[in-house]
Amino acid sequence: MDLIGNLAVGFGVALQPINLLYCFLGVFIGTLVGVLPGIGPVAAMSLLLPVTFTATPEAGIIMLAGIYYGSMYGGSTTAILVNIPGEAASVVTTLDGHQMAKQGRAGPALGIAAIGSFIAGTLAIVGLMLVAPTLARFAVKFGPAEYFSLMVLGLSILTYLSHGSLLKAMIMACFGLVLGLIGLDSISAVARLTFDRMELVDGVGLVPIVMGLFGIAEILVNIEQKLTRQTVAERITGLLPTRQDWADSAAPLARGSVLGFLLGILPGGGAVISSFLSYAVEKRVSKTPERFGKGAIEGVAGPEAANNAAAGSGFIPLLTLGIPPNVVMALLLGAFIVHNVQPGPLLMVQNPGLFWGIVASMYIGNLMLLVLNLPLIGLWVQVLRVPYRILFPLILLFCIIGVFSVSNSIFDIYVMVVFGVLGYLMRKFGYEPAPLVLAFVLGPMMENNLRKSLIISDGSFWIFLERPISLVCLVLAVVLLASALLPMWRARRERIALESAN
């Protein structure tokens, strides 16, 4: 069969010692980058891009790709251990992952994240191999109208993210939407909420906000508490997921992989959105949704699988159409061109060794990551025993370096500090940061696509109902919202009825 022949060629390339070495370097750096809060794959890849100039195109691309999917593995580590997402895509992992760590189950949480990442990553490569060209052609059917409806569906997840007050979640979401408005408006290039500051013309960055709300705020909250630490460290039980954990996680892993794979192909924030969406799906289908937010392993398994599958499938539009679906892929596109290779429909035909070599290297890289990460779990768990007085200055340092490295801007550090204080106050008053982050990511995309749709339709709102994909998304959003809100209303009505009866 053709596929097997191609794959054989690919492994022939990927198994060359020099390419194996680059692959290992890539996934190793990626793991580090993922673990260190704030320092993301974009910063690491752009710093290391010039290093690959002297290597062959295969080796260079294999290493850069390794950094990307490697960082998706590592991103969950700090999210689980210290409640600070290493990547924006790991924000959701903090919800249940850190709760598990608090209950002494950091090991199983890290274990399921690593193994889940491996399974999802591998499934995504199988998908990449089998259906890449067809699927990429399908993905371009998503125009502005379809994106808008998808974002509406995304925002309806909000109701699932909150385990406290829905009203507070909505307030945070509104705040996130407003933050997303800052900068030159993407359709008519008018400055909004910039207060004549040049730094705000491009808006506020996601990384400083996330690092502030989670990283800095976490430190501030914890300095108040003196004794809890010891108890966490002493309650650590078991390093690997139990049989029960596996049973609970199997279905979420499968669903997360499929979801992540599909969303990863679409241009624009696939990994972040898919992890949020996967969390919502798991909470929706769970028989015990009340466990979510209190250390449910499904809430770790699903999103982690989703963001890794999305990282894998993000390569599909780049390799088959030359369209990079996110910033990381755009960087890779630059790397390809530096090496005189043009990704696009012709890549597979003109450069089969490179195409299949990259695919094969991703199998190998994922395996390396698993081998690299499983033994590290024991080590990471020990981090929980590091005294706060040593751990916190380190976290602070990494947050600052990470935020600064994104665009060499001191202003971003101020933004992080402001959001750190804000995040601290939010925790104190019971407001959750996750809805804010989700709205901040989705809001600008939603507005942009709404306005583009209306330009295309000459102002008619029917465009959203006339297009099948868009219609399906909207219907799903309504169903999700109704299924979340109806029980709530019913409960309230019953309560009122009860009160009036009394």
Partner 1 sequence: MSRLKLTAAAAAVAAIVAAVGLLPAHAQSFPTKPVTLIVPWPAGGSSDLALRAFAEAAQKHLGQQIIIENKAGASGTLGPAQMAATAKPDGYTLAQMPITVFRLPYMTKTTFDPTKDFTYVAGLTGYTFGVVVQSKSPWKTFKELVDYAKANPGKVKYGTPGTGTSLHIGMEQIAKEAGVKWTQVPFKGAAETNAALLGGHVDAVADSTGWRALVESGDFRLLVTWGADRTKNWPNVPTLKELGINLVANSPYGIAGPKGIDPKVVKVLHDAFAKAVQEPVYLESLRKFDQELAYLNTADYEKHAVEQIADAKKLIADLGLKKD
Class of residue 222 by CB neighbours under 10 A (exposed 0-12, middle 13-18, buried 19+): middle
For 191, the enclosing helix (H) or strand (E) is strand 191-192
Query: Using CB under 8 A, which residues numbered 34 to 93 contact partner 1?
Result: 42, 45-47, 49-50
Binding partner 1 (rule: CB under 8 A), the pick from 2, 196, 224, 499 is 196
Query: Using CB under 8 A, which residues numbered 447 to 486 contact partner 1?
Result: 448, 452, 455-456, 458
**Closest to partner 1 by CB, 196 or 499:** 196
**Closest to partner 1 by CB, 228 or 342:** 342
- DSSP 8-state symbol, 193: S
CA distance 97 to 83: 8
Residues pairing with 335 in the sheet: none
Instruction: Compute φ and ψ for 327, nearest 5 degrees.
Output: -60, -40
CA distance 209 to 441: 11
Binding partner 1 (rule: CB under 8 A), the pick from 15, 181, 199, 254 is 199
**Closest to partner 1 by CB, 114 or 354:** 354
CA distance 300 to 308: 12
Instruction: Compute φ and ψ for 131, nearest 5 degrees.
Output: -120, 10
Residue range at the interface with partner 1 (CB under 8 A); choices 98-106, 127-135, 150-158, 336-344: 336-344
Binding partner 1 (rule: CB under 8 A), the pick from 12, 133, 289, 345 is 345
**Closest to partner 1 by CB, 16 or 194:** 194
CA distance 232 to 228: 7
CB of 214 to partner 1, least distance (A): 24
198 binds partner 1 (CB under 8 A): yes
CB of 69 to partner 1, least distance (A): 18
Which residue intervals of 197-326 are DSSP H helices?
206-210, 217-224, 228-234, 243-265, 270-285, 298-313, 315-321
CB of 58 to partner 1, least distance (A): 18
Instruction: Compute φ and ψ for 84, nearest 5 degrees.
Output: -120, 115
Q: Is residue 52 within 8 Å of residue 337, measured between CB atoms? A: no
Instruction: Compute φ and ψ for 184, nearest 5 degrees.
Output: -70, 125
How many angstroms from the chain centroid is the CA of residue 432?
Answer: 18
How many angstroms from the chain centroid is the CA of residue 261?
Answer: 12
CB of 45 to partner 1, least distance (A): 7
Count of residues that interact with partner 1, criterion CB under 8 A: 55
190 binds partner 1 (CB under 8 A): yes
Binding partner 1 (rule: CB under 8 A), the pick from 3, 346, 486, 488 is 346
Query: Using CB under 8 A, which residues numbered 290 to 319 contact partner 1?
Result: 317
Q: Is residue 343 within 8 Å of residue 65, measured between CB atoms? A: no
Site of interaction with partner 1 (CB under 8 A): 42, 45-47, 49-50, 137, 139-144, 184, 186-191, 194, 196, 198-199, 201-202, 267, 317, 321-325, 329-331, 334-335, 337-338, 340, 342-347, 407-409, 448, 452, 455-456, 458
